[in-house]
A and B are shown apart, each in its own frame.
Chain A
């Protein structure tokens, strides 16, 4: 067998594996949605279509996502311009602080908001104490609360994308506009913003998809407000499996439609060349400098409030914080129990090994995919890419339900085995969710490699394995590190898929946080949150460092 047919064989093996992991479970969900009493039937679809609750949940998902895009964009884009184009005291600090919400796993961010803005949170208690009210002044729930959490956790996408876009705009672009008589406003609207369109489109798509799939914020703050992700889980808990399938299908369709629409809008505006952005303009007026500087520090610190809240609450002993505005007692015991009590450290271990295993497997599959798609250029490459990216387009709840469905019966002939209730289902789910992250990073990495390097290694007598170990992988290190850190952090903090698929033996950190909250053990919940936050931040920081070294 020659190299070409070996590649084809490997491509088909990979395709089959991806179809089995990514497409097949979704197909089974669709099939289940279209069956009733063991026959093909539209009964459940009709029930779904006739229910006002279902439609309001679906509409809720869509409009909260659109609103989240608007809020995140309105916050993130101006901040990016501010930091990138103006120089004022405190600029560096602000630029760093603005990226901090990105290190909060979604559930941890929501919990921090609960402690900060919730009806028993700091702010509510403060207002209550100052105004001497009998009851909390507000309830932090409904669409507005969700929107606030989304805005906080997702403006960073707009902020980071816009900054990257601005940084790639060459000085000559501004100079050309100026030499043609365009003022600052006209340059912005006619030149800069159009050139930023791909970046803005990318950020909008990311925010929309993330909001649509968002689970923790609506789960904790939804109140009476329905969105589809939480609706699916609730329906399933009620035992209406088939209706949950129809709901899952509806959410998937919305996600795919959004992806299709937005990717058409996004377009392909290529900024010519790698630009050298102009230096930020120095703010000279003394009053403005003071004002901007002050505002920068204020905003930067405010952005840190959720993190600090979490840290503070993590020192609160069980049952000591009742009516006071500020917790009266502090202890390190919450952290001590995390490492001494086997029941408490089990979730940490679970999350660690499951995230590591899923990340390792996702990286390995992405490397194989990269070699086949970019290097061997197998005819199936288009399909491999689509399948790798697909879990990104489909909300996590959907995949969780799909995997739970696919691996709930033992029918080896149909490639279905019982994994539900075993320790393998959750790592498998993390793996599927990680594929787009590692896949995207490594495909880009492979594309950035000069194929002549492989050929050079071959003329120097290095076989495939030696070339991979000595040339390809070392050069792919930045991409490997980027993909692996992102995948690990996502899996380590995962809540969406875990809540559907966990068992007592595989309960991850996120579910232990939820459990502690339910038992009003806020201190331990916050301590877990802090651990999650610190691990995420450390992994990101290490990743950034290693990438810098490698590049």
Chain B
């Protein structure tokens, strides 16, 4: 199936700074696609290239088979929810939602009907005559969504849609947002720097850094099979320790020395055959036991309680390792010996050491 939205070889420069550096993506019809990355990674610029606010220096933007690279935003049929919503403060809720329909020359009665429909969709039925300033942050976010959806765009773009809400409200709004998008089945691209948001909303997630695409995949894929050290560190909790691959082990495993002990680990696509490496360890990759030879010995330096379990930081010869264990299992100052958990597949990865 050919993708509904296709970005190929996108390049955007601001002065001598390369904001987007050869991004290529295919987004399937009806999919919710998240662009995730730290600030300055080029995710917002990519979205703005899609909306037409910026023109790429190279590359193409194709939606539904039509090349939109040089099409101005007015003609793109793209709905967008802005980070600060950009609701028109001088128009009331109904007029805001009607704005896009008026541009299309929709008749009066039809406009009223579709405004009503759009507001009902976001659970704000009957608020047509309210002023924007009278709405709470969450309501403003929903009006912005209704306004973007009312003209029935081909694709919906969300720029950090939840960053303006306080954390207590965020989770609920996220759920509602997902429901609305899924109900109408619109192809959606959202930009966020919050992994939770990307994982919760996105069917697939693209991780960007310095204008380049690092990896695209489902949340599970990104967590269990990070394509490189950056993605591994950026997605989920992890510790990194210097290691050395000593050679092949039994079956599909490699022998590795890490923090003075020798282990055998499952091999994956990035594991170097031999030589210096970095070992990425999820909190469940290690298990605390009594200090003994053949175990990574360290001292518990901090504890973060998170309900059924706790995250302990163990200082192993100067390398901080994060270990998940039952809340009462360890206490601060205690000396422990860490052993690999039984199931290390997907929670410990070896990458070539950076040069």
Contact = CB atoms under 8 A, between A and B. Distances in A.
A457 to B, nearest CB: 7
Given A452-B82, A455-B51, A455-B82, A462 B88 contact: no
A207 B104 CA distance: 53
A452 B100 CA distance: 15
A459 B148 contact: yes
B100 A460 contact: yes
Given A466-B103, A470-B99, A458 B86 contact: no
Nearest to B73: A458
Contacts of A458: 52-53, 72-74
A103 B157 CA distance: 51
A21 to B, nearest CB: 33
B84 A450 contact: yes
B72 A453 contact: no
A461 B154 CA distance: 13
Given A450-B86, A455-B73, A475-B89, A462 B99 contact: yes
B103 A456 contact: no
Contacts of A280: none
A437 to B, nearest CB: 24
Given A452-B82, A475-B89, A457 B51 contact: no
B99 A453 contact: no
Interface string A127-171: 000000000000000000000000000000000000000000000
A460 B90 contact: no
A461 B86 contact: no
**Interface on chain A toward B: helix, strand, loop, or mixed SS?**
helix
Interface string B51-72: 1110000000000000000001
A459 B99 contact: no
Given A455-B51, A455-B53, A460 B99 contact: yes
A466 B105 CA distance: 12
Chain B contact residues (Cβ within 8 angstroms of A): what range? 20 to 34
A460 B103 contact: yes
A453 B73 contact: no
Nearest to A473: B90
A285 B120 CA distance: 62
A453 B85 CA distance: 9
Contact of B90 (A452, A466, A474): A474
A462 B84 contact: no
B86 to A, nearest CB: 4
Contact of A453 (B77, B79, B86): B86
A471 B151 CA distance: 18
A78 interface: no
Nearest to B99: A460
Nearest to B87: A456
B78 A459 contact: yes
Q: Which of B75, B84, B99, B100 has the most CB of A within 10 A?
A: B99
Interface string B80-104: 1011101111100000000110011
Contacts of B104: 461
Given A461-B100, A466-B103, A456 B151 contact: no
20 contacts: A452-B82, A452-B83, A455-B86, A456-B88, A457-B99, A458-B73, A459-B76, A459-B80, A459-B100, A459-B148, A459-B153, A459-B157, A460-B99, A460-B151, A461-B74, A462-B99, A463-B74, A466-B103, A471-B88, A475-B88
Interface of A: 3, 450, 452-453, 455-463, 466, 470-471, 474-475, 550
